[in-house]
Amino acid sequence: MSNSMNSMGRRAVLGLFGAAGAVGVSPLFSQAAFATATDGKAATRIVVDDNGDKVEVPEKIERIVVTNILPLASAVAVYLNDGSKIVGMHPASYSAAKNGLLGELYPEVLKADTGFIQGANLNIEALMALKPDVVLVNAPDRRMIDMIRGAGLTAFGISPSKWHYDVIETHNQWMRSLAELFPEVQGKGEAIEAKSLEIAKLVADRTKDLKREERARILFVFRYDAKSLVTSGKNFFGQYWCDAVGGINVAEGITADNANAVIGMEEVYGYDPDVIFITNFTAAVPEDIYKNKVGGDDWSPVKAVREKRVFKMPLGIYRSYTPSADTPLTLLWMAKRVYPERFKDIDLEAYVKDYYRTVFGVELTSRQSRAHCCRRCGRKPRCDGEDANESISPRFPCEKRSPQLSEESADFFAKEQQSFCCKIGFLSFD
> Considering the chain, what is the average pLDDT of its residues?
80
300 in Cβ contact with 292 (< 8 Å): yes
d(CA 22, CA 253): 23
From 14-23, 189-198, 262-271, the region with the lowest mean pLDDT: 14-23
pTM score of the predicted model: 0.78
Tell me where in the chain the CATH 3.40.50.1980 domain(s) lie.
33-193, 194-419
Q: Tens digits of per-residue pLDDT, 122-178?
A: 999 999 999 999 999 999 999 999 999 999 999 999 999 999 999 999 999 999 999
Considering only CA atoms, which of 188, 155, 165 is closest in space to residue 75?
A: 188
d(CA 215, CA 317): 29
* Residue 257 region by backbone torsions, left for phi larger than 0, else alpha for psi between -120 and 50, else beta: beta
Considering only CA atoms, which of 89, 88, 119 is closest in space to residue 408?
A: 119
Give every CB contact of residue 1 below 8 A, 6+ residues apart in sequence.
44, 56, 152, 154
Fold of the domain spanning 33-193: Rossmann fold (3.40.50)
Fold of the domain spanning 194-419: Rossmann fold (3.40.50)
366 or 18, greater pLDDT: 366
Q: Tens digits of per-residue pLDDT, 196-230?
A: 889 999 999 999 999 999 999 999 999 999 999 99
d(CA 246, CA 37): 52
pLDDT band at 191 (very low <50, low <70, confident <90, very high): confident
pLDDT band at 316 (very low <50, low <70, confident <90, very high): confident
